A and B are shown apart, each in its own frame.
Chain A
Amino acid sequence: MPEKKPKPETPATFARLPKEAPRLGVYICYCGGNISDVVDCERVAKVLGEQPDVIVARTNMSMCSDAGQAMIEEDIREHKLNRVVIGACSPFLHEQTFRGTVSRAGLNPYYYHHVGIREQDSWVTHDDPEGATAKAIRLMNAGLAKARHLEPLEPIRLEAKKHALVIGGGVAGLRAALDIAERGLKVTLIEKTPFLGGHMAQLESVFPTDEEARPALHELIEKVVHHPKVTIYTSTVIVATKGCVGDFQVQLRPVARGVRGVAPGIQAAIEACPVEVPDEFNYGLTRRKAIYFRYPGCHPPTAAIDWEHCTLCGECAKVNPKDIRLEREMTTFQITVGAIVIATGFQPYEPRPGEYGYGEYPEVVTLPQFIRIMAMAEDAGELMWNGHPVRQVAMIHCVGSRQVPGVHEPQPDGKVNDYCSRVCCTATLQATADLRRRFPQIRIFDLYEDIRTYGRGHEEYYRQASLSGVRFLRFHTEQGPVVIADPTGEHPLVVKVNDYLTWGEELEVPADLVVLAVGMMPGPIEDLIDVLKLSPGNDRFLLEVHPKLRPVETAVTGIVLAGTAQSPMNIQESCAAAEAAASKVAGLLSQGLVELEPFVAHVDLGRCTGTGACVDACQYEGAIQLETRVIDGKEVQRAVISPAICVGCGVCVSACPNRAIDVQGWTLAQYEAMVAAIAAEIPALVEVEA
């Protein structure tokens, strides 16, 4: 028997139209002036109120307020509305809010359509109020047309794995892992390097308390390591992910540590290693072996082999053949988690060669290097650097931060770092205080644009520095300091600066050491951005959905941000952000169930002929597949959607030769109705648009 072919002239969705006639409620929001300053909202309401099926058309100063929402709820009940269209901000902001409103009034939440007349109209057409009003009417009219074709939908409900993955073993990742575990959820923490602790381990003390950094960090590490809900993998990265919130299948690739346990005699094995490389723990100021501990007392307390530099000569293994094994590869494995926390941290800005003499003169160092220099310095006597006693130090702020195009060289991606790195001012002044306390004879010059000691207790460092005789010189970006060799030879360097605290006079500051207060840049996570489909912002840090509404969430539901992967932060702020991220994860997973938007593809089996064009076109593995079915006694192929994987992109819709696929909530019939309405003649607009 031949397959039944439906009549092509009947669009699939018409069959699913509800029987009751549309009764539309239309609402136009002033958005506290954001819209009403440009668009004549009252006129929009009046014109729309005259359109077919519209029962009520109203305005409000802020529709999203409780009063605005209550008004809509009351209208739905009183006027038995069965469709609601709201013209307001972008749906991104408040579509969810209004779905809740509609739902509370007893209507299916998807009987609601949101029209963005702020972002798409009043904000971009602000110089033409008449035109903007006409545009609002057209956009809203298209919204009405779509609303007439709306269908009730149900969110997709999925079981959520009560298990979170935390990427990054710095202070933010550790903090987030602990909070999620304390909440009773399983946590897997992965760290790319062989050791935990991140940049915090490289600090000696933490502002504003001046508490010792590593003991505070180790206390946190101990709690995480010993928490029964936490599993930690060091030297491990993500290679692939599939799935969605509640059910991410993550492929992890570990690299062997090469060393087992405490490994007695490991120090001798390290000494036996003939390879020496710059030690990143001291920012290249010292050297370490290719088998190494990050620092004494580091976690885990097991040495690791640096495979990148190891020559596999076997010298170390000769000392301890039992615990050292020179095999790098390990098998990839998979875990399934409900949510992912990105705590990949930052890297200090690396000045380009020649920037303030960096790389040219050994006396020019970065602030992180200076902190290590101070950590390694003997307290007694003089501070020595490059064979000379240090008598004068110049600190230069905003290196790699607050850059201006045309003044500063761009990064390889063509962009300058136009942001403030937030922590460098206080970090510099804290280092200054340490220098002043331990080597009071050294004269200190601080070259800055603005001193941003904004946080609690931060201003105290600035005050103390001023009181203790640190000399502050203020420069403008356009006339930044210049570092040259001291022509008199008395000191290695001279810093020339136009000081605006003394009327822009050019001053020369001789210096034995120049410290560059370098800013923060996000860690090198291009691979991760690809694998997890994350979006970095203009400043390359990962982007949150909205800084106030959803400050730690990314655009991918179930993936949240913790710490400096999102923006520069100090330790306190990183921990607060990590805890907020943990709250979000607990909120998502603790109920064991997640709800997803139903805007996924839907196959009309009456029209599908099993061409497979959709499967070929689909970018998301497993989202659409062909299945064998028996129809009228004959085996045929039909497309089937996996709603949890489908993202509703609509590529299959355009690929299908039979118009058998629609994205729910955004059907072809709805689009066609909208296009027709946009182009339709609206009598009230004839005069305006003429």
Chain B
Amino acid sequence: MAEERLRVDALVVGGGIAGMQASLDLADQGYHVALVEREPSIGGKMIALSKVFPTLDCCSCITTPKMSAVAHHENIHLFTYTEVKTIEPNGGSYLVHCVEKPRYVDTGLCTGCRQCEYACPIDLPDPFQMGLSAHRAIRVPFSTAVPQKAVLDIDHCLLCGKCEKACPVDAIDFTQGPQDLVIEARAIVLATGYETTPRDAKAEYGAGKLSNVIDGLMMERLLAPTGPYLHVLRPSDGKEPDSIAYVQCAGSRDETLGVSYCSRVCCMYAIKQAMLLSGALPMADITIYYMDIRTFGKGYEQFYQNARAMGIEFVKAKVGRITEDEYRNPIVRVEIMEEASRVEERKHDLVVLSVGMLPAYDPRPLYGVPIAEDGFVEAACPNIAPPMTAQPGVFAAGTATGPMDIVDSIVMAGAAAAEAAAYLERHDGEAKTYAGRSISMGEKEAIHA
């Protein structure tokens, strides 16, 4: 059976902002990069955000050009919907066995016209919209997806064939199977990102059963111009909320959840969302319940002070419990410290949990890269060489190495690219000779396995 093999300088695992930036920084230096992303589109968590702090740039304006640059860069080979299965050291390089999952769509033919999507009768919760709206069983993942190619969820497909009939270019292929791919890479950058604390993690906050208690990423979608409703509406009854509360550290600095660390981004995203909400719902009251406001980055403190000046209410308090009344209005139980320390129950229309960051991926089984107590990649030399791991030739960037915001992820990605480049230069001699045959970099070679 023929097997595709691609020989590159570096493999980047994860097509979020850190992985894209690391790929671009390596490719711009002339190295050949294979970027592997398990989702059908690159863009990661960032592409689903509304606007980003502290500049309030629309998120697409920052992310989509980088996605486009990755797709068009002559030194970057992009593999979406592809997962790494096994890795074997191969004398100075790694043989990375990947599987491209079947899209049931011929990507060479698909133009992303979405006719299949319009024809499909199946509605499923849309993960891009955080489940707030639906997508079809076959769909282009989202409007700015790269690549703009349809993907079919075979588990929910009825095999009714409507998409096949609708497709103007005959791209639907129900017989497609997984595609094996071997990438030979001399260095690896892990940019496997983060997940957020599950909304049902905390029983005190309703264990995910209170419909008007949402999390920060859901609010991002409500605020985004490509969001589900194009208005900020609360889930239970579609009402425009007049009073919105943020519960900070919902899943961070909380040892009952085994998360003792600070997630770094939640203060700023809550403040940013509060500002955007003041624009979207000028009459709404917005309260942020916090333990410490941690606006530590460049321009962040000034951002916080602007939010205070805009009239957003900041209350130092740890929310103890969230319940709801008969109209499903969330009730927040807090101790108001600054006013003679009294416990109060305050009613809001919508509560947003500022959920924290958890590691998305355990790199130990495949990459042999150790993790620290917090579950994120352990740096071998955290102060002087932050992206370096204990595994030679394997580096880590972005939130794979711990919670961080977009600015820090991008810088960290640049750092990982520098470390990987230095590693490639140091080991140049070995790699040129080990295989005993010469294949030009980036060239695809079909070998018989």
- Chain A contact patch, size range: 35 or more
Give the CA-CA distance A156 to B384 in the complex, in Å: 38
Q: A420 contacts B262, CB within 8 Å?
A: no
Contacts of A65 in B (CB 8 A): 60, 64-65, 67-68, 143-144
A1 at interface by CB-CB < 8 Å: no
Give the CA-CA distance A183 to B428 in the complex, in Å: 11
From the candidates B298, B387, B416, B426, name the one contacting A419 in the complex (CB within 8 A). Answer: B298
Give the CA-CA distance A418 to B326 in the complex, in Å: 45
Interface string of B376-392 (1 = CB under 8 A from A): 10000011111100000
The smallest C-beta distance from B143 to any residue of chain A, in angstroms, reads 6
A547 at interface by CB-CB < 8 Å: yes
Interface string of A41-74 (1 = CB under 8 A from B): 0000000000000000000011011111110000
Give the CA-CA distance A463 to B291 in the complex, in Å: 14
Q: B58 contacts A62, CB within 8 Å?
A: yes
Contacts of B213 in A (CB 8 A): none
Contacts of A402 in B (CB 8 A): 301
Give the CA-CA distance A184 to B412 in the complex, in Å: 21
A674 at interface by CB-CB < 8 Å: no
Q: A183 contacts B384, CB within 8 Å?
A: no
Interface string of A219-252 (1 = CB under 8 A from B): 1100000000000000000000000000000000
The smallest C-beta distance from A52 to any residue of chain B, in angstroms, reads 31
Q: B384 contacts A216, CB within 8 Å?
A: yes
Give the CA-CA distance A572 to B383 in the complex, in Å: 4
From the candidates B68, B298, B316, name the one contacting A567 in the complex (CB within 8 A). Answer: B298
B293 at interface by CB-CB < 8 Å: yes
Contacts of B147 in A (CB 8 A): 66
Give the CA-CA distance A70 to B292 in the complex, in Å: 46
A34 at interface by CB-CB < 8 Å: yes
Contacts of A591 in B (CB 8 A): 30
Most buried by B among A418, A450, A576: A576
B417 at interface by CB-CB < 8 Å: yes
Q: A66 contacts B146, CB within 8 Å?
A: yes
Contacts of A548 in B (CB 8 A): 52, 55, 57, 62, 406-407, 410
Interface residues of A in 581-599 (CB under 8 A from B): 581-584, 586-587, 590-591
Stretch at the interface among A92-100, A135-143, A608-616: A92-100
Stretch at the interface among B96-104, B123-131, B335-343, B346-354: B335-343
Q: Which residue of B lies closest to A62 (CB)?
A: B60
B329 at interface by CB-CB < 8 Å: no
A30 at interface by CB-CB < 8 Å: yes
Give the CA-CA distance A454 to B410 in the complex, in Å: 18
**Number of residue pairs across A and B with beta carbons under 8 Å?**
235
Interface residues of A in 562-577 (CB under 8 A from B): 566-567, 571-573, 575-577
Q: A66 contacts B294, CB within 8 Å?
A: no
A458 at interface by CB-CB < 8 Å: yes
From the candidates A33, A67, A89, A209, name the one contacting B112 in the complex (CB within 8 A). Answer: A67
B367 at interface by CB-CB < 8 Å: no
Give the CA-CA distance A220 to B62 in the complex, in Å: 35
Interface residues of B in 417-449 (CB under 8 A from A): 417-419, 421-422, 425-426
B374 at interface by CB-CB < 8 Å: yes
The smallest C-beta distance from A347 to any residue of chain B, in angstroms, reads 18
Q: B59 contacts A209, CB within 8 Å?
A: no
Contacts of B425 in A (CB 8 A): 182-184
Give the CA-CA distance A89 to B51 in the complex, in Å: 14
Q: B28 contacts A572, CB within 8 Å?
A: no
Q: A420 contacts B148, CB within 8 Å?
A: no
Contacts of B417 in A (CB 8 A): 580, 583
Contacts of A208 in B (CB 8 A): 382
Q: A503-B340, A576-B415, A580-B411 are in contact. Are A459 and B301 (CB under 8 A)?
A: no
Q: A61-B225, A93-B61 are in contact. Are A547 and B298 (CB under 8 A)?
A: yes
Most buried by A among B29, B298, B300, B382: B298
Contacts of A34 in B (CB 8 A): 58, 61
Give the CA-CA distance A647 to B55 in the complex, in Å: 28
B264 at interface by CB-CB < 8 Å: yes
B179 at interface by CB-CB < 8 Å: no
A500 at interface by CB-CB < 8 Å: yes
From the candidates B262, B292, B411, name the one contacting A576 in the complex (CB within 8 A). Answer: B411
Interface residues of A in 435-463 (CB under 8 A from B): 450-460, 463
Q: A583-B421, A586-B29 are in contact. Are A32 and B411 (CB under 8 A)?
A: no
Contacts of A483 in B (CB 8 A): none
A541 at interface by CB-CB < 8 Å: yes
The smallest C-beta distance from A75 to any residue of chain B, in angstroms, reads 15
Give the CA-CA distance A93 to B58 in the complex, in Å: 12
Q: A459 contacts B253, CB within 8 Å?
A: yes
Contacts of A69 in B (CB 8 A): 68
Q: B422 contacts A183, CB within 8 Å?
A: yes
B118 at interface by CB-CB < 8 Å: no
Q: Which residue of B lies closest to A503 (CB)?
A: B340
Q: B68 contacts A182, CB within 8 Å?
A: no
Q: A590 contacts B414, CB within 8 Å?
A: no
The smallest C-beta distance from A355 to any residue of chain B, in angstroms, reads 19
Q: B415 contacts A583, CB within 8 Å?
A: yes
Contacts of B148 in A (CB 8 A): 66-67, 70
Q: Which residue of B lies closest to A450 (CB)?
A: B292
Contacts of B243 in A (CB 8 A): none
A–B Cβ pairs within 8 angstroms, 24 of them: A34-B58, A62-B58, A62-B144, A66-B144, A66-B147, A94-B65, A100-B69, A179-B421, A182-B426, A209-B383, A419-B299, A420-B300, A456-B372, A503-B341, A539-B299, A548-B52, A548-B410, A551-B414, A566-B298, A575-B383, A575-B415, A580-B412, A583-B25, A584-B414
Of all A-B residue pairs in the complex, the 6 with the closest CB atoms, nearest first, are: A580-B414, A579-B415, A182-B422, A32-B58, A33-B225, A65-B64
Taking Cβ atoms with an 8 Å cutoff, the residues of A that contact B are 30-34, 36, 61-62, 64-70, 89, 93-94, 97, 100, 104, 171, 175, 179, 182-184, 206, 208-209, 211, 216, 219-220, 401-402, 404, 418-420, 422, 450-460, 463, 474, 500-501, 503-504, 539, 541, 546-549, 551-552, 566-567, 571-573, 575-584, 586-587, 590-591
- What 5 additional pairs, Cβ within 8 angstroms, besides A32-B58, A455-B262? A89-B61, A183-B29, A459-B261, A539-B299, A576-B387
